[in-house]
Amino acid sequence: MKAFILAAGKGERLGSLTETVPKPMLELAGKPILEHNILMCKNAGVKDIFINLHYLPNKITDYFGDGAKMGVNILYNYEPELLGTAAGILFFLNNFKAEPFYVIYGDNYTEFDLKDLKDYHESVNSDFTIALHWVDDISHSGVVYLGKNNEIYKFLEKPKMDHIEGGWVNSGIYLINPNVIDDLVKEYSDFAYDIIPQALNRKRKLYGYKIKNDLWAIDTPELFSNTVNELNIN
């Protein structure tokens, strides 16, 4: 199987933490976040990994090279300008024609087993499966609305709310069938704001898979510090 990992972002909200290192290269549990994601792919039998780059790209390519030292094959594409979470896949689309492929946000950290997502995806005959995790405050996340069989019927990115509410949200890990999103991805497009809502409008079968693992989104210095402390305790 194959995977597309998003690693182009700078992580501006992290301030000085990303002045000299791109966000996916921040270290957690002794390794860059991106390395954890590559190993997650490898452990699930994913050999071919495609990564988009923008901010400080040499920090990533110098560290991972072609992936041989990790037992995978890595192909990069440098974006002179950020294209959005979905448009970054355009350069690689021809590589994803034969079988379902993973999309992984390279700046999130989890110890989730991707094979579980694949098994679920196949069991419900899904077109596009989104790994979900629970948060106590959904206002900063992509919120899914699920039917009784966990089929997604509505998706809302960062909903405006006047109260705190918990729920199942987008983990930034997808398994997508070939050709399902090909004609939806434009020169600048985003999975949360564009691709997922459009796929729902087209009556594609989107399902949510509720993961049992913790997931850490490292969006602010406080979240990064808290995550480092939590992982050290564990």
Are 190 and 91 spatial neighbours (Cβ–Cβ below 8 Å)?
no
Average pLDDT over residues 196-205: 98
Own/partner long-range contacts of 57-66 (Cβ < 8 Å, ≥24 apart) = 57/22, 59/21, 59/22, 59/25, 60/7, 60/22, 60/24, 60/25, 60/34, 63/25, 63/32, 63/35, 64/34, 64/35, 64/38
Query: What type of residue sits at position 121?
Result: H
**pLDDT tens, residue by residue, 132-175:** 999 999 988 999 999 989 999 999 998 888 888 999 999 999 99
Closest CA to 8 of 85, 61, 115: 85
State the pTM of this model.
0.95
